[in-house]
Amino acid sequence: MESIDPRPPSPDPDGGKAESTEPKDSGASAANASESASVESSGSASAAGSGRPQPVDLAGATSAIYLRKSRAEFSRVSRRELLKLAPILALGAFAIPGVQESLLKKGLGFSDWISSALFRRGHLAPTFADSELTAFDKFPINDYDVDDPGIIFENWSLAVSGAVQKPGDYRLEQIQSLPLMRQNTRHVCVEGWDVIGRFGGTRLSNFLSVIGADTSARFIAVSCADDYYETLDMATALHPQTLLCWEMYDQPLTREHGAPLRLNVPTKVGYKQAKYLTGLKVTNIVEKVGYWEDQGYSGYYGL
């Protein structure tokens, strides 16, 4: 029985498609060719009498390709095609409790890695007109513990340590003697809300050069009066809009907003912008990234 009959091409309902279907055909043809070949090799002795498909000269097939198969053979083809989808089951690893945690950690790490690669040092965060500012009393106050950790301002200083030439305690007047910069930038919270605020202070990069920081180090780690802690990558620390901030809305910082000194980093999400700073360390190694990060939030979270 002649099992392959290259029939006349079926009527093409859509003339415009004729030339377009060529690439698709070749893919499908390959699958059929291998099927035919395997049938041929396994049963060549009885092929002629059993109605098995013969290998077909696909190069000669022009438009329609008809293969004839028994139900069992079609099931076999179908099953083989189904099995090709099996690699997708690897995603099931995400359902295994122990593995899931490490996979998600890797996924978040990958996102952070891409984030730092996307970071452009000279690319500025959008700035806004004074008329677009969120009213000061509408600027949310978020902290993890207390609104006011009770700093005694007269005794306050910033303890600088790590890879710096001039470690020690820096008083607020010393920091405020550096060039003042004010900016209206968007403050984005990881919860999704955003406000536009006015911040004033000096570029962190100014302060880093005053203390003689080794800017080839990887991190700036800060500690806070309320035991909050944070880490900035060096590229972000050197960004021209990253401020050591002592003003909001042209007024000295209020206690709830982080007096006497906080970070303002328009290229980072809100939780990176620590308040009530008490310490600053330039370092290559951080054991703890940040209060929220150590609970599972992104360590980089650049905007």
Partner 1 sequence: MSEATIEITRTADDGSETVARAVYEHPLPVRICHWLNAISLFVMVGSGLQIFRAFPSFGAKIPQKDLIDWPQSLAIGGWLGGALQWHLTFMWIYIATGAAYLGYQIFSGNYRQVLFTHRDIPGVWPMIRHYFFLGPKPAVHEAYNPLQKQAYTAAIGLGVLSVLTGLAVWKPVQFSGLAWLMGGFHWARLWHFVVMWLILAFVFGHLVMVLLHGWNNFLSMLTGWKKDPEY
Q: Is 130 near partner 1 (CB under 8 A)?
A: no
We find the least distance from the C-beta atom of residue 47 to partner 1, in angstroms, to be 16
Give the distance from CA 168 to its chain's centroid.
36
Q: Is 9 near partner 1 (CB under 8 A)?
A: yes
Q: Which residues pair with 162 in a beta bridge?
A: 282
Which of 106/166 has CB closer to partner 1? 106
Cis omega (within 30 of 0) for bond into 240: no
Cα end-to-end span (Å), the chain = 69
Residue 38-57 contact track with partner 1, rule CB under 8 A, x = bound: -------------x------
How many chain residues interact with partner 1 (CB under 8 A)?
Answer: 74
Residues 166-225 that bind partner 1 (CB under 8 A): 186, 188, 190-194
For 28, 52, 53, the CA distances from 73, given in Å and listed in that order, are 16, 9, 10
Alpha carbons 265 and 234: distance in angstroms, whole number: 12
Q: Which stretch binds partner 1 (CB under 8 A): 11-19, 40-48, 208-216, 256-264?
A: 11-19
Q: Which of 2, 14, 137, 173 binds partner 1 (CB under 8 A)?
A: 14
Question: Quick check: helix, strand or coil at residue 142?
Answer: coil
Which of 45/91 has CB closer to partner 1? 91
Q: Which stretch binds partner 1 (CB under 8 A): 12-20, 151-159, 160-168, 252-260?
A: 12-20
Burial class (CB in 10 A: 0-12, 13-18, 19+), 72: exposed
Which of 178/186 has CB closer to partner 1? 186
Alpha carbons 240 and 233: distance in angstroms, whole number: 14
Determine contact, residues 198/180, Cβ cutoff 8 Å.
Answer: no
We find the least distance from the C-beta atom of residue 164 to partner 1, in angstroms, to be 28
Q: Which of 32, 184, 242, 278 binds partner 1 (CB under 8 A)?
A: 32
We find the least distance from the C-beta atom of residue 84 to partner 1, in angstroms, to be 6
Q: Is 22 near partner 1 (CB under 8 A)?
A: yes
- Alpha-helix runs per DSSP H in 84-152: 97-118
- Alpha-helix runs per DSSP H in 119-233: 172-176, 204-210
DSSP 213: B
Alpha carbons 242 and 59: distance in angstroms, whole number: 65
Q: Is 296 near partner 1 (CB under 8 A)?
A: yes
Q: Is 97 near partner 1 (CB under 8 A)?
A: no
We find the least distance from the C-beta atom of residue 178 to partner 1, in angstroms, to be 24
Which of 10/155 has CB closer to partner 1? 10
Which of 198/281 has CB closer to partner 1? 198
